[in-house]
Amino acid sequence: MSLFEKFSSIQQARQEILQSGVNPFHLTIEKIISPTEAVINGHTTILVGTNNYLGLTFHPDSIQASQEALAQEGTGTTGSRMANGSFSSHNDLERAIADFYGMPHAIVFSTGYQANLGVLSALAGPGDTILMDGDSHASIYDGCRLGGAEVLRFKHNDVTDLDKKLRRLGDRSRRTLIIVEGIYSMLGDRAPLKEIVDIKQQYEATLVVDEAHSLGVLGNRGRGLAEEAGVEQGVDCIVGTFSKSLGSTGGFGVSSHPEFEFIRYTSRPYIFTASPCPSVVASTKVALRIIRETPQLRQQLWKNAKILYDGLEHIGYTLGAEVGPVIAAMIPSKEQALAMWQGLLEQGIYVNLMIPPATPNGESLLRCSVSAAHTPQQLETIIQSFANVYSQINEHAASVST
């Protein structure tokens, strides 16, 4: 059997989707106009699926800093920090992140995906145990596998199940790493973090919180769910990404534990990956400053999120339980989700299409990510377009049934 034959089932599933007349696999954004608009298929399209929560991708200060770094330090680092050394800007960014979180130690990675791979695989290895929320991101799953620890899942946001599994571990709980997310990327719900911290402390376990979707979004200073819940002192490590609210690429880990610095010597994704480009480092550092100095961006994001959530709920969509920057509309079938995604795109609205097996509980979703940069007019257009495709699908279903 050829190694390539394993892809036959994937090819068949892909072909079934293409036969429906929808091709979500190779969508090309031909031109970026602004944080909330682009040209797709030759038409100006409102972007509602970019995770650009604060709209900072076109902030003039970030662009200027990036351009200056490009001119002064070049286009890339051409190697890892372990082999080629750190640029002073790498160290500056790590100090800025540590200061932002009020923690002494920070490590920067080239992507958010690598931050989870690098931190989780270094913290928990053979002989250790990992307890992860069942709805965790793929990067968390992969980071757990890379380390070689025993991996157990607890039911999504179920503190009773977490407690039960820790109790069964007995003395092994002291060598157990618990992993949860601040805001979960599929349905936009939050971890019950205060209760999780209480359980973690009871069993003397270690807790990592992935704040990828909650950085810049939650907390008085935008530090995420741990800040909002008032439990930062009970969290051993926070990981996150630059590719959401910070509008760039890269990832990080922060911690108050002095031993955290030794991750640099044991983390394969840190040691063997080229370090972040100077232009990215520069724009990220500026974006951190903007988050600190401009809380009104966060306030506008939440105002926009409530408008969109209320609008979609009024139409009749079944949504995730919480208002937030991630708003997921649950669609009854994959076929309807494909048709509605295509219908929205034809009306100039781009959202994320999420279909099994990548979704929780095998549900099909149309996922929106709200931005502070969305205008009232754009939000009105988005809601009206969702109403149009909702009506079209219901009319089609009624005609088929008769």
Structure tokens at 131: 């307890």
Q: Do 143 and 177 belong to one domain? A: yes
Radius of gyration of the chain (CA): 22
Q: Do 260 and 160 belong to one domain? A: yes
Q: Do 33 and 162 belong to one domain? A: no
Which of 293, 328, 343 is the last residue before a domain boundary?
Answer: 293
**Is residue 121's pLDDT more than 60?**
yes
User: 39 and 46 in contact (C-beta within 8 Å)?
Assistant: no
Count Cβ atoms below 10 Å from residue 141 Cβ, excluding itself.
16
pLDDT tens readout for residues 1-31: 789 888 888 888 888 888 777 887 788 999 9
Residue in the structure block whose two tokens are 């002494």: 104
The model's pTM is 0.94
Q: What is the CATH number of the domain that holds 165?
A: 3.40.640.10
**Can you list the pairs that 269-272 forms with residues at least 24 positions away whose Cβ atoms lie under 8 Å?**
269/109, 269/114, 269/117, 269/118, 269/121, 270/80, 270/81, 270/82, 270/107, 270/109, 270/114, 270/118, 271/80, 271/82, 272/80, 272/82
Give the pLDDT score at 399: 61
Q: Do 311 and 174 belong to one domain? A: no
Contacts of 380 (CB under 8 A, 6+ apart): none
Report d(CA 246, CA 52) in Å as an integer: 8
> Is the link from the previous residue into 60 a cis peptide, with omega within 30 of 0?
no
Counting the structural domains of the chain, the total is 2
In a domain, 374, yes or no: yes
Give the pLDDT score at 398: 60
Q: Which of 59-73, 75-89, 146-160, 344-358 has the lowest mean pLDDT?
A: 344-358
Report d(CA 48, CA 58) in Å as an integer: 16
Q: What is the CATH number of the domain that holds 373?
A: 3.90.1150.10
Q: How many CA atoms lie within 13 A of 21 on its CB side?
A: 7
The parent domain of residue 220 ranges over: 59-293
| Average pLDDT in the chain | 94
In a domain, 52, yes or no: no
Mean pLDDT in residue range 176-197: 96
Report d(CA 99, CA 200) in Å as an integer: 25
User: 117 and 264 in contact (C-beta within 8 Å)?
Assistant: no
